[in-house]
Structure 1
Amino acid sequence: MAKLELKNLNKTYTPKVIPVKDVSLSVEDGEFLTLLGPSGCGKSTILRLIAGLEEPTRGQVLIGERNVTGVRPGDRNIAMVFQSYALYPHLTVYDNIASGLKLKKTPSEEIKQRVAEAANVLGLEELMNRKPGQMSGGQRQRVALARALVRRPDVFLLDEPLSNLDALLRERVRAEIKQLFAAQKVPVVYVTHDQTEAMTLSSKVAVLNKGDVQQLDAPELIYNNPANVFVAGFVGSPQMNLLTLSCQGNHASLGNFKIPLPKMPTVPHNIVLGIRPENVHLAKPEDTNIIKGRIFLVENLGMHYLISVRVDSSEKEEIIVRALVPIQQKWSGEEINLVLPNESIHWFNVQTGDAMVKPSVASQLV
């Protein structure tokens, strides 16, 4: 068992190209950490720094309290699963899985035992004599996972392993990965830009942007209490409504409507209101503080419609609110009354983007 720690990890290529900026985090035994962010945010570079495929400009990588920053990749006792699977096309499934053990000159009987165990866990017993070209994408992915499992490493690293699979296969393999690594009891670091993978697989998530960790938290806290505007807008599908509003007194103005502000030391001139579409409700007769608007776009999501509403406003700039409504109701160009529950609203600083006040009641739809 080995804890993984990154201490002030930095990678600088040029003064203007810094993909990793002083990242510090830890992953305990049995924890599944996902590095989540858009392309170019530094998540794959962090993975390569952990693996030893790149050297940090400064900072340390520790595995089980052992500083491995200057240690060769082969001596770090890690296993890595690549996006491209990286299987040897001329070798059988058995030989692909056993390749790393053979390089370490593991006794042949032990190799057979470990390969058999991994094949049984991943359902590969009937494929052992096939070559990668004779298998589907999902089967090749399981072979790559098996090759990592037999290593019995101190840390597992996975670099977007599902990105080459179709949607249905990705769901199935994602479920397999969750069960598989829950039983390993070692740190797992998983890289993806897919928030669904991050939310469903992880015990904690690090959201990155431009080399910085924006928030490191449990998935439900990332979703319900985003630390800033970037996290709020990146995590969640459909995306959170983020509206820049002017403030007067103790209210923010949404078009011609007033939304009460929470208590804060000083009221800013402008503020960013955030609310997830699933928390925007259709108004009932008894509701107050109703927001009126007109629907201009309807998107069928299967279980719900996603509607985009232009809010009544005396200003030239259009204010658009997106809401999820039941599939039984059909909307097209109609006027609509909406309610934005105060307990579901997030407030962010316009200048810094940081959260100013957290919602008093977290969403239950995670």
Structure 2
Amino acid sequence: MAKLELQNLNKTYTSKIIPVKDVSLTVDDNEFLTLLGPSGCGKSTTLRMIAGLEEPTRGRIFLGDEDITFKQPGDRNMAMVFQSYALYPHMSVYENLASGLKLKKTPRTEIEQRVTEVSKLLGLEELLQRKPGQLSGGQRQRVAVGRALVRRAQVYLLDEPLSNLDALLRERVRADIKQIFAAQKAPVVYVTHDQTEAMTLSTKVAVLNDGLIQQLDPPERIYNQPANLFVAGFVGSPQMNLLTLPCKGRSAILGDANILLPDIPTVPPEIILGIRPENVRIAQPDDRQVIQGQVYLVENLGMHNLVSVRVATAETEPLTIRALLPPEQKWNNEEIRLALPPQNIHWFDVKSGDALK
């Protein structure tokens, strides 16, 4: 049983290059934590500090009750899966799986037992005598995961392990990884910029930007209750509609509609309304708040059309609302009436970008 804890972790290279500014989080047994964010947000640097491949400038890393901040990578009882697979090309699959155990002078009978167990789990029994050059991308990735699993580590670290796979294979291996690590019951830290991987694999997601955690929550809360504009805009495809609207009285003005504001102490001059395209729908006769606009772009996504609608406003340039609508109708250049269900609307402060509760 293990618990990984990061306390105020910071990595500073120069006064202008600070990839990780202040990261604190805890990963317990049975938890799969994903560090999610765009390139340069600090997620891989954080993972490398956990693994011992980088030394933090400030902060502490604990595994259980032990401070491992400055321990060597080989002394941390962690296993890492790299983006590039990092397999030895001259060794067979069996030798690649066993290599880490041999370095630790594990008895031969135990090595055979562990390799046999892991190869059965990952479906590698028929491939044990092949070299990496004779394997497909998905098979190489399973070998890389297997090499981590034979370690029976206290913590597993995965650095964008699916990024080199094509889309179809990525789905298949993603499902395998979810089942495999659910059975291990050890803390897992997974790095990706792919929100689909984060949402489907994780029990918790830490959304990072500019070296700071923007939100740390279960995936459904990240999606349904974004903490700020960055999380709202980064998580979700198609991206959330984010509209800057003028306020009048207790309402925000969008086209001809007055949209009731949340119960906030002071009404600002402007506010940002957020709503996901799948929550925008065609207005019904009994809808009180109806947005009138004109369709100017229709993108066929198969199960849905992504319809972009221009809404005329009195004080600003026309605003665009994107809606996922059924594909039966084309809507090209037509007038359309949309409804924004109040329970699906998110509100954000213009200055801070924080969500208004």
Same fold judged by TM-score > 0.5? yes
Q: Hey, what does 2:19 align to over in structure 1?
A: 19
Preserved contact between residue 277 and residue 322 of structure 1 (Cα < 8 Å): yes
Cα offset, 1:64, TM superposition: 1.4
Query: SS where residue 180 of structure 2 aligns?
Result: helix
Preserved contact between residue 80 and residue 156 of structure 2 (Cα < 8 Å): yes
Residue by residue over 1:99-126, the C-alpha shift from the partner in whole angstroms, topping out at 9 and shown as x without a partner, is: 0001001011100000000000000000
Cα offset, 1:262, TM superposition: 1.7
Distance in 2, Cα, partners of 1:319 & 1:258: 15
Cα offset, 1:72, TM superposition: 0.3
Query: SS where residue 295 of structure 1 aligns?
Result: strand
Runs of 4+ off more than 6 Å: none
Distance in 2, Cα, partners of 1:309 & 1:81: 44
Q: Hey, what does 1:237 align to over in structure 2?
A: 237
Query: SS where residue 151 of structure 1 aligns?
Result: coil
Q: Hey, what does 1:173 align to over in structure 2?
A: 173
Q: Hey, what does 1:132 align to over in structure 2?
A: 132
Query: SS where residue 331 of structure 2 aligns?
Result: coil
Preserved contact between residue 293 and residue 336 of structure 1 (Cα < 8 Å): yes
Query: SS where residue 356 of structure 2 aligns?
Result: strand
Q: Hey, what does 1:277 align to over in structure 2?
A: 277
Query: SS where residue 180 of structure 1 aligns?
Result: helix
Q: Hey, what does 1:335 align to over in structure 2?
A: 335
Distance in 2, Cα, partners of 1:90 & 1:239: 45
Distance in 2, Cα, partners of 1:196 & 1:150: 28
Residue by residue over 1:104-150, the C-alpha shift from the partner in whole angstroms, topping out at 9 and shown as x without a partner, is: 01011100000000000000000001001001000000000000000
Structure 1 residue 95 and structure 2 residue 95: aligned? Answer: yes
Structure 1 residue 53 and structure 2 residue 53: aligned? Answer: yes
Higher mean Cα deviation, 345-354 or 278-287?
278-287
Cα offset, 1:329, TM superposition: 2.0
Preserved contact between residue 251 and residue 259 of structure 1 (Cα < 8 Å): yes
Task: Read off the aligned partner of 1:31 and give its amino acid letter.
Answer: E
Q: Hey, what does 1:355 align to over in structure 2?
A: 355
Cα offset, 1:29, TM superposition: 0.6
Task: Read off the aligned partner of 1:41 and give its amino acid letter.
Answer: C
CA RMSD of aligned residues (A): 0.8
Preserved contact between residue 255 and residue 315 of structure 1 (Cα < 8 Å): no
Judged with a 3 Å threshold, the aligned counterparts in structure 2 of structure 1 residues 270 and 314 are, in CA distance, closer, same or farther, namely closer
Structure 1 residue 199 and structure 2 residue 221: aligned? Answer: no
Query: SS where residue 189 of structure 1 aligns?
Result: strand
Q: Hey, what does 1:299 align to over in structure 2?
A: 299
Preserved contact between residue 10 and residue 56 of structure 2 (Cα < 8 Å): yes
Task: Read off the aligned partner of 1:268 and give its amino acid letter.
Answer: P
Cα offset, 1:316, TM superposition: 5.2
Preserved contact between residue 294 and residue 311 of structure 2 (Cα < 8 Å): yes
Cα offset, 1:70, TM superposition: 1.1
Task: Read off the aligned partner of 1:279 and give its amino acid letter.
Answer: N
Distance in 2, Cα, partners of 1:353 & 1:321: 20
Preserved contact between residue 283 and residue 290 of structure 1 (Cα < 8 Å): yes
Distance in 1, Cα, partners of 2:331 & 2:121: 49
Distance in 2, Cα, partners of 1:25 & 1:75: 22
Preserved contact between residue 280 and residue 324 of structure 2 (Cα < 8 Å): yes
Preserved contact between residue 42 and residue 211 of structure 1 (Cα < 8 Å): yes
Distance in 2, Cα, partners of 1:108 & 1:299: 59
Preserved contact between residue 256 and residue 292 of structure 2 (Cα < 8 Å): no
Cα offset, 1:315, TM superposition: 4.2
Cα offset, 1:257, TM superposition: 2.5
Structure 1 residue 161 and structure 2 residue 161: aligned? Answer: yes
Residue by residue over 1:206-258, the C-alpha shift from the partner in whole angstroms, topping out at 9 and shown as x without a partner, is: 00000000000000000000000000000001100001111010111113322
Preserved contact between residue 4 and residue 64 of structure 2 (Cα < 8 Å): yes
Structure 1 residue 321 and structure 2 residue 324: aligned? Answer: no
Query: SS where residue 183 of structure 1 aligns?
Result: helix
Distance in 2, Cα, partners of 1:190 & 1:323: 32
Residue by residue over 1:47-81, the C-alpha shift from the partner in whole angstroms, topping out at 9 and shown as x without a partner, is: 00000000000111111111001100000000000
Cα offset, 1:21, TM superposition: 1.3
TM-score (norm 2): 0.99
Distance in 2, Cα, partners of 1:227 & 1:212: 13
Q: Hey, what does 1:33 align to over in structure 2?
A: 33
Cα offset, 1:30, TM superposition: 1.0
Distance in 2, Cα, partners of 1:309 & 1:327: 15
Preserved contact between residue 28 and residue 187 of structure 1 (Cα < 8 Å): yes
Distance in 2, Cα, partners of 1:178 & 1:137: 18
| Unpaired segments ≥5 residues, structure 2 | none
Preserved contact between residue 36 and residue 207 of structure 1 (Cα < 8 Å): yes
Query: SS where residue 355 of structure 1 aligns?
Result: coil
Judged with a 3 Å threshold, the aligned counterparts in structure 2 of structure 1 residues 214 and 316 are, in CA distance, closer, same or farther, namely closer
Preserved contact between residue 215 and residue 231 of structure 2 (Cα < 8 Å): yes
Q: Hey, what does 1:208 align to over in structure 2?
A: 208
Q: Hey, what does 1:361 align to over in structure 2?
A: none
Q: Hey, what does 1:8 align to over in structure 2?
A: 8
Cα offset, 1:312, TM superposition: 2.4
Distance in 2, Cα, partners of 1:306 & 1:259: 23
Query: SS where residue 184 of structure 2 aligns?
Result: coil
Higher mean Cα deviation, 269-278 or 257-266?
257-266
Distance in 2, Cα, partners of 1:262 & 1:352: 17
Preserved contact between residue 10 and residue 59 of structure 1 (Cα < 8 Å): yes
Q: Hey, what does 1:255 align to over in structure 2?
A: 255
